[in-house]
Amino acid sequence: RVLSLDLNKDRDVERIHGCGINSLDIEPVEGRYMLSGGSDGVIVLYDLENFSRKPCYTCKAVCSIGRSHPDVHKYSVETVQWYPHDTGMFTSSSFDKTLKIWDTNTLQPADVFHFDGTVYSHHMSPVATKHCLIAVGTKSPKVQLCDLKSGSCSHILQGHRQEVLAVSWSPRHEYILATASADGRAKLWDVRRASGCLATLDQHNGEKSRTSSEAVNTAHNGRVNGLCYTRDGLHLLTIGTDDRMRLWNSSTGENTLVNYGKVCNESRKGLKFTVSLDCNPEFAFVPYGSTIAVYTIFSGELITRLRGHYSTVDCCVFQPNFQELYSGSRDCNILAWIPALREAIPDDSSEKSLSRQHLNPAYEDAWSSSEDEG
């Protein structure tokens, strides 16, 4: 299904934003409601369900926090995220130096955290049961940890030298956090430890070539502005303005040296990319100019580039229940990418006689005609 993703002519997402879309998030409980955050400070909540039962339909905006709302963000919303455990709450952070915790039912902020600088990114752990910490990356090199329970910024992680552009909790270990900075470094932290930092990822794995003049222990030769764990938490993808994507072993911090080729990245701020779930092989979906590039994570193969936006794509989010993808762009549009239905195969042809041209090369290893295995 992922290999046949295509722009869906039958499904629209209602256009509400008057400016670019920076962040999308689909709630993990039902996979039905999607948040979007825009450069105009507006937040929109969409229902992705098709009530009409017709093939052509529009995903409607249920509600929005628009410019006239008393608590709307003053500047660009950079990150939106649902509370991982239910849809009664969501979070947003903005260039207006705030992180807001919203009550979904009343659309009123239940809490507001204020920072000294622009907020680039925030993240709540999808698996935490023992803490309610929100990691926040701001213009300051210090990573802030805000406690939802106490309503205060409880903790600071020090080690970066420039602004923190992306933060992501491990989906495997609730106290492990990854951070990415404009200083070219990506770090792994255990937030229970006094020193905090477990590892600073080194693209050379400690073996610096004599010819290279790069600083030691950099993940990229440029700003690191995107982070994404694989779904099992065993690996971490980073993206930098050196037009590279790297895959790291998240327990050893080792660069796995998978080569994705040139991954064009001119973003001056955080780039929101995502990975597939329940797929073999696993895929990464990466904004690439006005397209979304689809890579196989472990072999580095560029499978395709999804074309449909008119301007730079800044974010995309994967809907695992139906293997769908949604992307947000500076063209103010959210596009739905849906697996194209396969053409019917005549009854007399068995699966084995399917000509190879029907299959994308990425299918070949994992393909099984046995019903027991599937």
Evaluate whether 228 touches 236 at the Cβ level (below 8 Å). yes
Q: How far is CA 123 from the centre of its chain?
A: 10
> 4 in helix, strand or coil?
helix
Whole-angstrom distance, CA of residue 173 vs CA of residue 54: 42
Structure tokens at 347: 């009854």
Collapse the DSSP code of 293 into the 3-class scheme (helix H, G, I; strand E, B; otherwise coil) and give the result: strand
Tell me the backbone φ, ψ of residue 317, rounded to 5 degrees.
-140, 145
How many Å apart are CA 67 and CA 329, to the nearest integer?
20
User: Within a domain: residue 358?
Assistant: no
Tokens of 111: 């809490």
- CATH for 260: 2.130.10.10
Does the residue 302 lie in any domain? yes
Examine residue 37 and state whether it is found in any structural domain, yes or no.
yes
369 within a domain of the structure (yes/no): no
> Per the domain annotation, does 366 fall within a domain?
no
Report if residue 59 sits inside a domain.
Answer: yes
Per-residue pLDDT tens listing for the chain (374 residues): 888 999 988 899 999 999 999 999 999 999 999 999 999 999 999 999 988 888 889 999 999 999 999 999 999 999 999 999 999 999 999 999 999 999 999 999 999 999 999 999 999 999 999 999 999 999 999 999 999 988 888 789 999 999 999 999 999 999 999 999 999 999 999 999 878 799 999 999 988 654 555 557 899 999 999 999 999 999 999 999 999 999 999 999 999 999 999 999 988 899 999 999 988 899 999 999 999 999 999 999 999 999 999 999 999 999 999 999 999 999 999 999 999 876 555 555 444 444 444 545 454 555 544 455 44
Residue 359 included in any domain = no
Distance CA 301, CA 304 (A): 9
CA distances from 21 to 7, 281, 285, 325, 328 (A): 18, 29, 17, 15, 5
The total number of structural domains that make up the chain: 1
Closest CA to 336 of 19, 24, 18: 24
CA dist., res. 306 & res. 263, Å (int): 14
Q: Give the bridge partners for 92, in sequence order.
A: 80, 100
Peptide bond into 281 cis (omega under 30): yes
Whether residue 356 is contained in a domain is answered as no
Sign of the dihedral defined by the CA atoms of residues 124, 131, 224, 111, in that order: positive
Which structural domain, as residue segments, surrounds residue 250?
A: 2-339
Cut 0.85: pTM above it: yes
Residues 32, 308: Cα–Cα separation, whole Å: 23
